[in-house]
Amino acid sequence: MQSIEKLVETIEKFKPGAPLVGYIGKIRFPNFKNMDPGTEIDFSFPITVLVGANGSGKSSVLHALYGAPKDQTTRDFWFSTELDPIVEGKGLGPSRYIYSHWNAALSEFVETRKARVKSGQKLDYWEPTKIVAGDGMSPLPSPAPAGAATDRWLPVERTVVYINFKAEISAFDRYFYYETGQSKEEKHAAMLREARRLKWAIETGTDNWELWNRRRVFENRELSENELDWVKHILGQPYMSAILVRHTLYPGYRGQDISVLFEKSALKYSEAFAGSGEVAVVSSVVKLLSANDHALVLLDEPETSLHPGAQKRFLVFLLHCIKTKKMQIVISTHSPEFLRGLPDKAIKVLEETPSGRVTLANSSSPLVAFKRLGLAPPGKIRVIVEDALAKQVVDVARRMLPEGEREVVEVVVVPGGAEMILGHYIPAAIAAEDHTYVLLDGDKQFVSQLPDLATIAPVDESSLGELIKNATGVEPALYLTGGDDPHLASKKIAAQKKYISWVAGRVRFLPHVVPEEIVLRAAFPALVSELDGSADTAKKLLYSELAKSFPGANADQVATLASYELAKSGFESSDVLNVRGVLSEFIATWRADNA
């Protein structure tokens, strides 16, 4: 099984039309449920994850997408009743949504408008309507091209697979826990009777069994090798086989139920003794692997009954389906496991405003999404700087990060300056394998570039230590075994390579020679003309300026005062924005390492 990172890298290259047929690019809501009018969702990645609290509109988006393609209707999920009437008018017009989809004939996106209308006595009828300029729609080309009627773009033709995981429960659970009007004794008697019938159906292999003039068994088969392999992978269980039966054998008629007979080693057990997550995974794997290529897949809370490890592996399965079947998948979830490893553009955060309307952020890092979900950020990264003023500068930049990201960054001063950090602290961080990153003052920029390990020939590896010192000015105290280790030389080279890779990926530099210059340029622009590029000049200018109001301030007090001045104007400082960009880079690296 490929990793999330590799799968994301592959499907990142997929484009609408090739190979994503009929791809839905956007959907917008001029008037739909409680969506803020004009809200638009951009599906710029083949898998989209909708995140938000309960009541934030995630399922509403799925219901709109469900009704978008040809022969599909949102009425299956949303219709007016006396208790919950759909109130329209008030200048907003009918309930409607507009979505763009790829037109192969034109090799571009076109927009279809679906609106709720009344057709005769049939209420809540949804149909594609003519183009409406007031909804920001472009006129049809003339003559009307393929995929268009005389006054509208026809709906996209897509197979829709909608799975609500809260409803993916076994026949046993549905009858035992949700059937009403019967005593426990009556239920037990019914379950004993139907267990015998299920056993007979499985043993005979019948998939078309009629009882009392009604078909009771609709599917009865062993999972294929591919289906079973995915179920085993997702659930982490060593199943030898699994038999799936779709039926209506239990009393009452609630549509088709699902029973599964699992076999693990010498143990066989039905869904009556299986976890609800096991049955849901079997059902969803079977549905997705049997779905048509290019299907539109809508999943409502797939985390239901699955532990975090299974959720992560289920995401791998979904990405695999996109890779192999060129599907488009949209997920509604409360689980952070469906966010980890995905690009920001795949994550959409929905929030309900005080007025009850739903707004949306079209691109969000997982950390921001975690915050919206009320979850604590998963760990922190430590950013090492040289002194108190550098810490203040980085803290101002940190506060500019989105909520959810700023909380995961911890800024720490390491005494001893750049030489201590490069020579001793970084080797210790490498040994500890922790989440440390370094921001040195600008005057510590490396004299020469670190060697490119991809171009170093094995015969030249003995010079790595010299190359490191030429670039950084230090000989790092690498952690090596002593004594008569015959492999010491090769271990030293390996440690030097690890040091070079670590520094290349995790060490960056503040703008300008010292942080004092950053403060001067942001808070005291009149003094910029007096700067000459030296650290001493920048420090003297800043301390002299601050001493006018606070004579005799020590170094820590100067740092605090400078931070105050920087905070007043720092949000407009290109230097502070630069530092914020470096912090975002560190966070992205950390996320990739922990995907």
Average pLDDT of 203-212? 89
Comparing C-alpha atoms, which of 394, 542, 547, 391 is closest to residue 531? 542
Give the model's pLDDT for residue 583.
95
Average pLDDT for the chain:
88
Please answer whether residues 426 and 502 qualify as being in contact, where contact means their C-beta atoms are separated by less than 8 angstroms.
yes
Two structure tokens written together for 156: 């996209």
Burial class (CB in 10 A: 0-12, 13-18, 19+), 5: exposed
C-alpha span between 276 and 537 (Å, rounded): 70
Domain 4-159+291-372 CATH class label: alpha beta
pLDDT-derived band of residue 67, with 50, 70 and 90 as boundaries?
A: very high
What is the C-alpha end-to-end distance of the chain, expressed in Å?
15
Of 118-132, 305-319, 379-393, 509-523, which range is least confident? 118-132
Average pLDDT of 297-305? 92
C-alpha span between 110 and 137 (Å, rounded): 9
Burial class (CB in 10 A: 0-12, 13-18, 19+), 24: buried
Give the model's pLDDT for residue 314.
97
User: Which of the residue ranges 132-141, 372-381, 410-419, 561-570 has the most confident prediction, judged by mean pLDDT?
Assistant: 132-141
Handedness of CA 79, 80, 82, 83 (dihedral sign): positive
Quickly list DSSP for 103-136: ETTTTEEEEEEEEEEEETTEEEEEEEE---GGGT
* H or E segment to which residue 312 belongs: helix 308-325
Q: What is the 3-state secondary structure (H, E, C) of 261-289?
A: EEEECCEEEECCCCCHHHHHHHHHHHHHH
Average pLDDT of 441-462? 89
Residue carrying the six token digits 């997550």 = 277
Q: Which residues contact 123 (CB under 8 A, 6 or more apart)?
A: 79, 80
Please answer whether residues 39 and 358 qualify as being in contact, where contact means their C-beta atoms are separated by less than 8 angstroms.
yes
Give the model's pLDDT for residue 481.
56
Is residue 186 pLDDT above 90, yes or no?
no
Give the model's pLDDT for residue 542.
87
C-alpha span between 206 and 198 (Å, rounded): 10
Q: What is the dihedral of CA 425, 426, 427, 429, to 10 degrees?
A: 90
Q: What is the 3-state secondary structure (H, E, C) of 315-331?
A: HHHHHHHHHHHCCEEEE
Give the model's pLDDT for residue 13.
95
Average pLDDT of 342-350? 92
Between the CA of residue 72 and those of 128, 302, 435, what are the distances in Å?
Answer: 11, 22, 49
Average pLDDT of 536-542? 90
Give the model's pLDDT for residue 365.
81
Handedness of CA 148, 151, 156, 160 (dihedral sign): negative
Return the number of other C-beta atoms located less than 10 Å from residue 521's C-beta: 21
φ, ψ for residue 357, nearest 5 deg: -85, 155
C-alpha span between 27 and 333 (Å, rounded): 19
Q: What share of the chain is helix, strand, coil (3-state, %, to 5)?
A: 40, 20, 35
Position with higher pLDDT, 537 vs 125:
537
User: Could you give the residue range(s) of every CATH 3.40.50.300 domain in the chain?
Assistant: 4-159+291-372
Give the model's pLDDT for residue 486.
66
Is residue 2 pLDDT above 70, yes or no?
yes
Average pLDDT of 493-518? 93
Of 104-108, 148-152, 561-565, which range is least confident? 561-565
Comparing C-alpha atoms, which of 329, 315, 320 is closest to residue 24? 329
Average pLDDT of 32-58? 91
**What distance lies between CA 48 and its chain's CA centroid?**
8
Position with higher pLDDT, 440 vs 402:
440
Average pLDDT of 242-269? 86
pLDDT above 90 coverage of the chain, percent: 50
Two structure tokens written together for 431: 């040994």
C-alpha span between 367 and 54 (Å, rounded): 19
Please answer whether residues 113 and 132 qualify as being in contact, where contact means their C-beta atoms are separated by less than 8 angstroms.
yes
Collect contacts of 174-178 with beta carbons under 8 A, ≥24 apart: 174/250, 174/254, 174/257, 175/250, 175/251, 175/252, 175/257, 176/272
Comparing C-alpha atoms, which of 260, 253, 263, 252 is closest to residue 202? 260
pLDDT-derived band of residue 413, with 50, 70 and 90 as boundaries?
A: confident
Average pLDDT of 181-198? 84
Is residue 374 pLDDT above 70, yes or no?
no
Give the model's pLDDT for residue 291.
97
User: Which of the residue ranges 289-303, 333-347, 362-376 has the most confident prediction, judged by mean pLDDT?
Assistant: 289-303
> Beta strands 358-361 and 409-413: pairing type?
unpaired
Give the model's pLDDT for residue 447.
87
pLDDT-derived band of residue 257, with 50, 70 and 90 as boundaries?
A: confident
φ, ψ for residue 158, nearest 5 deg: -140, 140
Is residue 482 pLDDT above 60, yes or no?
no
C-alpha span between 26 and 101 (Å, rounded): 8
Comparing C-alpha atoms, which of 83, 104, 188, 182 is closest to residue 146? 104
